[in-house]
Amino acid sequence: MSRRMGAAGVSLWLRDETTDLPVFHLSFQHGKLCTRPEANHPVWENPAYWQENPMGRELLLTRRAVLCKDVKRDARLGAQREYLMAQGIRTVLAVPLLLAGRVIGLVSIRCVRPRKYRAEEIELAQALAHQATLAIQLTRLAEQSRQAAVLQERNRMARDIHDTLAQAFTGIIVQLEAAEDATLRGGTIEAANHLRRVSKLARQGLAEARRSVQALRPQALEDRNLLAALDRLIEQMTPGSGLRAALHYVGQPRPLARELEENLLRLGQEALTNTLKHARADHFRLRLVFGPGEVRLEASDDGRGFDPTHTNGGFGLTGMKERVSHLRGQLTVQSVPGQGTMIRVVLPDNASSEAAEI
């Protein structure tokens, strides 16, 4: 822009969303880029000087380029005149950066010789400013996308680590309580078996937490399908707990997308963990329904239940909601104090829908 407009320097100002003031961003002058204004720039004494002088207000109000042909004689400059004259500037063209009709910043084009910019030159300056606006907006969107990706990954790790460690610790507690009970009854061999399960659960929990940090597929799904993984989950978690758990399926089992299988396993895991920790239930049932274009997971128990409208959900239920929302599914929690709990998850199976259409 400096070359095309024959300018001695060009500076970029972007409007701060908090203060709504144009803030110095960078400039090109004396053949180099600068990211800070000069020490004697008026912005140091008055950050709002662009809004307080008539030339700045005119640009913000009209959203059009404003030309100061002669710095010495233009009354709109106010306190800015002294600074510009000290820099040897004779002509200034201020061009707004427009996004959706709003001024998000401005470009100040400064010349050391008097310039009479023609209408087509001002249009060229505005066109170049539009290109700058596009570049700025693309940069901002890229940064927002990066931040969103970081937040999404952080939430994924938090959910996965919570699920794996919650499962492991719940299983460990159940087995330790069973071992204590067996010891009190004199069942040394039975107690030893429970303690072996404790060691195994601890190692598995640690390994799964590490796999989650590395974004690896759960070990339970590496060498078995989803139904087998859920069955294995029940087999590991419930011995010694007094909870009678069962897994059923409806429809024709089929391979699901990796992300679907991983989340369904975690959802079933969280439902079973919550039952063991809170429900005081005698029975737990997990049902997997393979429907056309969808897959449904239902977890029910006959425990003490709760009032869904008067619970903060804890991180477990929050994590379940986040998983289901990420997969554009539906989560329903039905529970009444003293009458058990039913959790139903319905997730779209796009691969199944596309195969049916073919």
- The span from the CA of 113 to the CA of 91, in Å, is 7
* Residue-averaged pLDDT of the chain: 85
Tell me the average pLDDT across 243-266: 92
What pTM did the predictor assign? 0.51
| 261 pLDDT higher than 60 | yes
Give start and end residues of each alpha helix (H) in 214-349: 226-237, 258-274, 314-326
More confident residue, 82 or 354: 82
The mean per-residue pLDDT over the stretch 143-151 comes to 81
**Domain range list for the chain:** 9-117, 145-357
Map residue 155 onto helix, strand or coil.
Answer: helix
Question: How confident is residue 281, by pLDDT bands cut at 50, 70 and 90?
Answer: very high
Structure confidence at residue 226 as a pLDDT band (50, 70, 90): very high
Crossing angle of helices 226-237/258-274, nearest 10°? 20
Q: What are phi and psi of 262, to 5 degrees?
A: -65, -45
CB 333 within 8 A of CB 306: no
The residue among 84, 93, 92 whose CA lies nearest residue 123 is 93
Count CB neighbours of 130 within 10 A. Answer: 14
Spatial contact of 299 and 273, defined as CB atoms under 8 Å apart: no
- In this prediction, residues 15-36 reach a mean pLDDT of 84
Alpha helices, DSSP H only, in 2-118? 42-45, 49-52, 54-62, 80-86
Count of residues in the chain: 358
Cα 272 to Cα 286: distance, rounded to the nearest angstrom: 9
The CATH code that applies to domain 145-357 is 3.30.565.10
Q: Is the pLDDT of residue 95 over 90?
A: yes
Distance CA 63, CA 95 (A): 8
**Low-confidence winner among 57-66, 146-155, 172-181, 182-191 (lowest mean pLDDT):** 146-155
- What is the fold of 9-117? Beta-Lactamase (3.30.450)
Q: Is the pLDDT of residue 278 over 60?
A: yes
Q: Is the fold of 9-117 the same as that of 145-357?
A: no
